[in-house]
Amino acid sequence: MILLETEALTRAYGGVVAVSKVDFQVEAGLITGLIGPNGAGKTTLFNNMTGLDVPSSGKVFFNNKDITGFPAHKICRMGIARTFQNIRLFKELSVVENVMIGRHFKTGKDATHGRFLNALKSYVYLKQEEQEIYEAADNWLDFFDMSQFKNELAKNLPYGRQRELEIARALATDPKLLFLDEPAAGMNPQETDHLMATIRKIRDLGITVVLIEHDMKLVMNICDTITVLNYGMKLAQGTPREIKHNPSVIEAYLGKEEE
């Protein structure tokens, strides 16, 4: 089943076309890799699918619903969460508070029929709501084995942990689909191995994962399917094996061999 799909998605900034007529499909339950040389338009494509940017033309469908141009917070509430290439944590907040913000829209009016207003009325409701949010956040910290850091400020965590915290925060929104923008950037090989295991664990929870990554070992190892972008256009799509042997992909990465 196709969970998310773009239809001829194009994003141009003035005369520069960052993404050009890309048809991108994400199969539910799989790990999809999005690769391509620097400047190929991968992050732009992510931003256009998560509401941080609006396509110049083309459409985005999630669960067969047209979500083109929806604001980011609405898209998140529909079940798409993401991380950022340059980590964007709430630096001055504690680790657990970062994750608790991910639970923001899980309680309150949408989820519990106006409990927020009740919270104003009664101390008990507020406490109960806070307890729920805290426990859910704490569970995600446990998932990443980070409970011991929960009251540290996010900015004081080591780099690899910050990346994991960003994923934990995204997962706290209970997404159906998780976008990871270069999750292994800046990680050493051990950390990357650990990350691969984590991403598989996330998939096993039934969450569909799409990731942008330059670390080919990671991509080839864990992705079920890969889409390659080059100069803003879709170059190829297929299993890691197919992609590895696709001549145009090899050319894009290594350059054309002169005869």
Calpha distance 122→119 (Å, rounded) = 5
Q: What are phi and psi of 256, to 5 degrees?
A: -75, 140
Select 64 or 122, whichever has its Cβ closest to another protein: 122
Calpha distance 235→253 (Å, rounded) = 11
Listed ranges 167-175, 185-193, 200-208, 216-224: which one lies at the site for another protein (CB under 8 A): 167-175
Binding residue for another protein (CB under 8 A) from 22, 40, 89, 222?
A: 89
Q: How far is C-alpha 87 from the geometric centre of its chain's CA atoms?
A: 12
Of 83, 79, 139, 151, nearest to 110 by C-alpha is: 79
**CA torsion sign, 88 to 90 to 94 to 100?**
negative
For position 1 contacting another protein by CB under 8 A, the verdict is no
Neighbours of 174 (CB within 10 A): 14
Binding residue for another protein (CB under 8 A) from 12, 52, 185, 216?
A: 52
Binding residue for another protein (CB under 8 A) from 5, 41, 49, 129?
A: 129
First to last CA, the chain: 44
Min. distance of Cβ 157 from another protein in angstroms? Answer: 15
Binding flags for another protein, 10-49, as an x/- string (CB under 8 A): ---------------------------------x---x--
- Please check whether residue 35 is in contact with residue 28, taking contact to mean a CB–CB distance below 8 angstroms: no
For position 136 contacting another protein by CB under 8 A, the verdict is no
The token pair at 197 is 């295991």
For position 231 contacting another protein by CB under 8 A, the verdict is no
Residues lying near another protein in the complex (CB under 8 A):
43, 47, 50-53, 71-73, 76-77, 81-82, 84-85, 88-94, 96-97, 100-105, 107-108, 116, 119-120, 123, 126, 129-130, 133-135, 138, 150-151, 169-170, 173
